[in-house]
Amino acid sequence: MPASRLLLHGLAAGAGALAGVLGSFVHALPTAGLPGGLLCALVLSVAVFATARLVAASRSGAAAAAAGWLLPVLLLSAPRAEGDLVVAGSGVGYTWLLGGTLLAGLAIGWPSARGDVGR
């Protein structure tokens, strides 16, 4: 793999990690009684996944962003010894975890416009 592709995938993973951290902290914020933070977090995440796939021109870009997203989200959903928890086991927390994972899978598995299935 050329160095430029490695750099691109590293940047995609970093962007995914940033989206995962930001989304984990804002997903529970209500907006006028609605889960506005969750909606913003999911929109940011799918934008990062789709952008990484488009820029890399392959599914590996979205996979790198998804891996970067998944690591901090899982770490922030685990309770610490002090009892702190960022992503709680509530309906909004599970929607953030499962919805983001589903959107990552869709971004990776979505067929390209060129029809090259094996990439």
* Number of domains the chain contains: 1
Residue 114 falls inside a structural domain: no
Residue 117 falls inside a structural domain: no
Q: What is the pLDDT of residue 117?
A: 53
Residue 50 falls inside a structural domain: yes
Residue 115 falls inside a structural domain: no
Confidence of residue 97 (pLDDT cuts 50, 70, 90): very high
Q: What is the 3-state secondary structure (H, E, C) of 51-73?
A: HHHHHHCCHHHHHHHHHHHHHHH
pTM recorded for the entire structure:
0.87
Residue 38 falls inside a structural domain: yes
Domain, as residue range, for 64 = 3-78+85-109
Q: What is the pLDDT of residue 114?
A: 67
pLDDT tens figures, 31-83: 887 889 999 999 999 999 999 999 998 899 999 999 999 999 999 898 888 87
Q: How many helices (H) and strands (E) does the chain have?
A: 4, 0
Residue 118 falls inside a structural domain: no
* Mean pLDDT, rounded, for 97-114: 89
For 111, which DSSP code? P
Question: Buried b / exposed e across 57-79, counting CB within 10 Å, b at 16+?
Answer: ebbbbbbbbbebbbebbeebbee
Residue 23 falls inside a structural domain: yes
